[in-house]
Each structure stands twice: as C-alpha cells, then as structure tokens.
Structure 1
Amino acid sequence: MSREFDTTFPSDIPIPTDDGACDHLPGMTIPPLSLPATDDTSIKISSLQGLVVIFCYPRTGAPGETIPDAWNSIPGARGCTPQACSFRDTQREFMTAGVNKIFGLSTQSTAYQQEVKTRLNLPFELLSDEKLEFVEALSLPTIDWEGKRLTKRITLAMVEGKIVKVWYPVFPPDQSAQQVLDWLTEEKTAGQKFVGNRCMSVT
C-alpha cells in the first residue's frame, strides 16, 4: 500500500481544550437526514444499523497544498490525513470489535472527498455535509476558515441512530482510532454488551 502522503503533523501545534460544545450530544437521536457519500450513494445516518463510528474532521489538504501557519495555529485543526489513516489502518480491528460501519465526515464536497479516498486508499466512505445539514441538526462546533464553516474534530459512536459515545476534543489526531478501540475494549471488560449490535450503555 502506498504511503506517498504526509501523515505527520507538527509537534508544537496548540492542543485543543474541551469547551463543552459537545456536552449535549450523548444520548441524542440523529435526525432523519441523508448525506452524499464517496461511493455516489446517499446515506441516511439515522437508519444505519448496529454500531457505527463517524469521525468528523475539518478538512484534508489537496496534493501539494502548502499548509499555512494560520491553520496550524488553530487548536485541533491540523491532522485530518493522519486521523483518516488511523481508521484505515485499524479497519479490521473495528470489524472484529463489532463495529458495522465507519464513516469520515467533513463539509468538503463529495468530489473533493473522492480524490482523498482514492489517494489515501481508505476502505470506508466519506460523507459530505457541504450544506451543513448534519452540523446544524446536531449543533456541532465549527471553525470559520476562508469564508467556510468547517466542523471541528469530533468522533461519534452510534447505535441504531442514537449517539452512545462522543470524543471531543480529539487529540492527537493520529491516535483517534485507537481511542475508540480502547473504549470498545473497556466496554467489553466492564460487561457492557453490544447485543444484536445494540449498545446497552450511553456514556
């Protein structure tokens, strides 16, 4: 598998802090909305079956794009490619742990995301919230960048359309997938069961 892309990020970037902007999410039922995916289908998130993980990220850079210092200075902004690759490289572990689907989500266009999916060899689909329907329905925190609203880095675990776990802020981004896997292990150790792909706890 090719690794001809940058999966690193500066060690001195500012660390994001929890501002409480996602405190309302645990236990929320996802509204019945559909988003375009990189396989040219439309995904109705609220109807997804079983345990689903969605990692929301601000934006991935284009090939050859120079990342400005202004972007690096935004806490939690940098690191979308390393985050996506962390889920790519642990895909099998997620399936073994009982996760039915993994999706990435950003406010970038599907056409842009399709290039990213191909370039990074991602085995899961990316969802485009270009119209900000998901962001606004869930009141997700955002970043204003060059006239566009981008979602902050958030990871959601859902069962039958209900949010059962939220990771926010997510840092470092290249450890995002492992954070979710660690939670799955803790749930199993604590005796929480995803019986019939239905999680019995909300945290």
Structure 2
Amino acid sequence: METDLTYLPPNLPVPTDDGACDHLDGLQIPDIQLAATDGTMLRLRNIPGRLVIYCYPMTGPSHIPLPPGWDEIPGARGCTPQACSFRDHYQELQQLQTTVFGMSTQSPEMQRSERERIHLPFHLLSDEHRHFSEALRLPVHMVDSLILIKRLTLVFENGYIRKHFYPVFPPDKHIDEVLAYLKATAV
C-alpha cells in the first residue's frame, strides 16, 4: 500500500513546546562536517551570512511504509510537505540572501533519493551519526530502533543561532514564519 506523503491527514496531534530548544539561541554552530546530497562533506561553520536549517524526522518514497503509529506522534508527519514548501519558496530565500538546507538523521543515500524525487533545488544534510544534533542537544523522537530529530528550524547568522522555531506545526505552512522572520530582520 502506498501512502501519499504530500498529504497531511486532518486531526494530526499538535506538538507542544516542551522547552527542549530553549537553550539554543546564541549558540555557535558546531564545528562538524556533515554529508550533503551532492556527495561532499560540508562544514556549516564556514558558511557566512544567513543560514536556515530545517530539521525533520524522516522522509522517503511512498512505497516504504511509515513506522507504526507515525500519525499519532505529535509533529512527526509532514516531512515531504515541509520540504516542498521550502522548495517552492527557494527563490524568495535566495533573494533574502539565505542559504537553506534540510537535515535529518537519515543516510545520505536516502536523502539523495528524496532530493531527486521531490526536485529540491538545495541539498539535504545527513546527521546519521548524530554529531550535530547531540552537540546542540536537539530534541529527538525515539521510534522503534530509530533516533529521529524532532521537527525544528534553526536560523544562523555568521555561525550563531539567532532564532529557533520549535515546535513546528503545521509543517507545510512553517515557511511563512521563517520568511516573515527573515524579512523583518533583513539588513
């Protein structure tokens, strides 16, 4: 059975702010290299200016079933709609001189397939060894044997977190909050 991952079912449970990201604003980006979907290792600390990283639990092709009870986990469902919303507003992000990446704990191979499947104009980053998420103490979902980053967005300026969005809901509309912040704080 295939699942339409671009569709958000009604009545999804809304995540609540548990304070798990309250410590983030002002932190420096960890000096860690991450695998990007173009096969390179990227050191995020070396990216000047504005950088947006939207973190998501997991995504993949519709023929791979979601974990049991996925839709009942607050904030879990919606990775593909979120990625598509960043894709659809990519030019606007570029006009705001903002670099964007998506990030999950999935392998670079899985992310490469996803990037191609939904035609993303930006790269996805793999934190499969969780060095980045552990360095920043990002909140996670524990699902079966998987450790997945909860949905959140980080806005860095010159290597420091200036804003975090957590929890993110609904994921397909979150880009509006990000763009509003970027426009309000544009230099």
Do residues 132 (structure 1) and 130 (structure 2) align? yes
Do residues 122 (structure 1) and 120 (structure 2) align? yes
Counterparts of 1:141 and 1:114, CA distance in 2: 24
Q: What is aligned with 2:167?
A: 169
Alpha-carbon distance change, 95 to 71 in structure 1, aligned in 2, over 3 angstroms: same
Alignment map for 1:16-55 (pairs within 5 Å):
16-55=15-54
- Per-residue deviation at 1:68? 5.1
Counterparts of 1:6 and 1:72, CA distance in 2: 11
Counterparts of 1:34 and 1:68, CA distance in 2: 29
Comparing 67-76 with 90-99, greater Cα deviation is found at: 67-76
Q: What is aligned with 1:65?
A: 64
Q: What is aligned with 1:142?
A: 140
Asked whether the equivalents of residues 155 and 163 of structure 2 are also in contact (C-alpha less than 8 Å), the reply is: yes
Asked whether the equivalents of residues 67 and 143 of structure 2 are also in contact (C-alpha less than 8 Å), the reply is: no
Q: % of aligned pairs identical?
A: 48
What TM-score does the superposition give when structure 2 sets the normalisation length? 0.94
SS in 2 for 1:8: coil
SS in 2 for 1:104: strand
Segments of 5+ residues of structure 1 without an aligned counterpart are 194-203
Counterparts of 1:129 and 1:119, CA distance in 2: 20
SS in 1 for 2:111: helix
SS in 1 for 2:93: helix
Counterparts of 1:61 and 1:71, CA distance in 2: 14
Alignment map for 1:87-102 (pairs within 5 Å):
87-99=86-98, 101-102=99-100
Q: What is aligned with 1:185?
A: 183
SS in 1 for 2:172: helix
Counterparts of 2:160 and 2:45, CA distance in 1: 8
SS in 1 for 2:69: helix
Q: What is aligned with 1:154?
A: 152
Counterparts of 2:48 and 2:67, CA distance in 1: 40
RMSD over aligned CA atoms reads 1.2
Equivalent pairs counted in the alignment come to 184
Counterparts of 1:80 and 1:126, CA distance in 2: 12
Counterparts of 1:25 and 1:132, CA distance in 2: 17
What TM-score does the superposition give when structure 1 sets the normalisation length? 0.87
